[in-house]
A = this chain, B = another copy of it.
Amino acid sequence: MFKVLLRALDKLQLTEKKKVAVFDDIGPLDLGFTEISLSKGSEDEIPLWLAQHLEKQNLVKINSITTEELGKLLFQEKQNSTTPASLVKTYPDIYFRIKKLEEELKAKGLDGLEELKKVKSMVNEISLIRLRKIIQLASLNINDQTLISKMTKEEYLAYLSMRKIITSFYGGVIGSSAN
């Protein structure tokens, strides 16, 4: 079920609106449910699938994240890395932005290599710390809305799926609804 839901989130992201910088006048595009026109030089929000298509043609650029922002996030997460409740609120699409940043650095070739390495190692650390915090929250059955609101959709899904395993385990194996 986790895989299925993760896949669904991934597909849904394609229809989510992303901020793009527009390099040329585009449209009007009849998308059936909506019509889109973009003006050169503006910033606008368009569905990710369209943004990706237009980006390939160098007509727009999708916002990502900077290495500095990433460093800041890592610093914050690290401060209380063993305290689950210390999960740091960040972009809801942080993981998408990170992938985007990595792609941008890859595209730079040798020039980006150094930074790419640094980003990758930061990302690994960030996700490791965040996921451990989330696993802790799930295993302690902490259901605090403020905390949940700090998770990304994918993280919340992982949290929920772990909770379900724990609940099913108690329900099915111990025959109790406790925990």
Name the prevailing secondary structure of the A interface residues. helix
- Residues from chain B with a CB closer than 8 A to the CB of A26 are none
- Residues from chain B with a CB closer than 8 A to the CB of A124 are 174, 176, 178
Q: How far is the CA of A132 from the CA of B137 in the complex (A)?
A: 12
> A1-26, CB under 8 A of B: which get 1 and which 0?
11100110010000000000000000
Q: How far is the CA of A78 from the CA of B120 in the complex (A)?
A: 40
Could you tell me how many residues of chain A have their Cβ less than 8 Å away from some Cβ of chain B? 37
- Residues from chain B with a CB closer than 8 A to the CB of A123 are 174, 176
Q: How far is the CA of A168 from the CA of B179 in the complex (A)?
A: 25
CB of A175 closer than 8 Å to a CB of B: yes
Q: How far is the CA of A1 from the CA of B139 in the complex (A)?
A: 19
Are A2 and B168 interface neighbours, CB within 8 A? Answer: yes
CB of A29 closer than 8 Å to a CB of B: no
CB of A165 closer than 8 Å to a CB of B: yes
Q: How far is the CA of A165 from the CA of B174 in the complex (A)?
A: 23
Given that A169-B154, A172-B6 are contacting pairs, would A135 and B127 also be in contact in the complex, using a CB cutoff of 8 Å? Answer: no
- Residues from chain B with a CB closer than 8 A to the CB of A127 are 169-170, 173-174
Are B131 and A169 interface neighbours, CB within 8 A? Answer: yes
- Residues from chain B with a CB closer than 8 A to the CB of A170 are 127
- A sample of 6 inter-chain contacts (CB < 8 A) reads A1-B2, A2-B164, A123-B176, A135-B135, A135-B162, A158-B166
10 tightest A-B CB contacts, nearest first = A135-B139, A154-B173, A95-B173, A2-B165, A6-B172, A127-B174, A158-B169, A161-B165, A3-B168, A124-B178
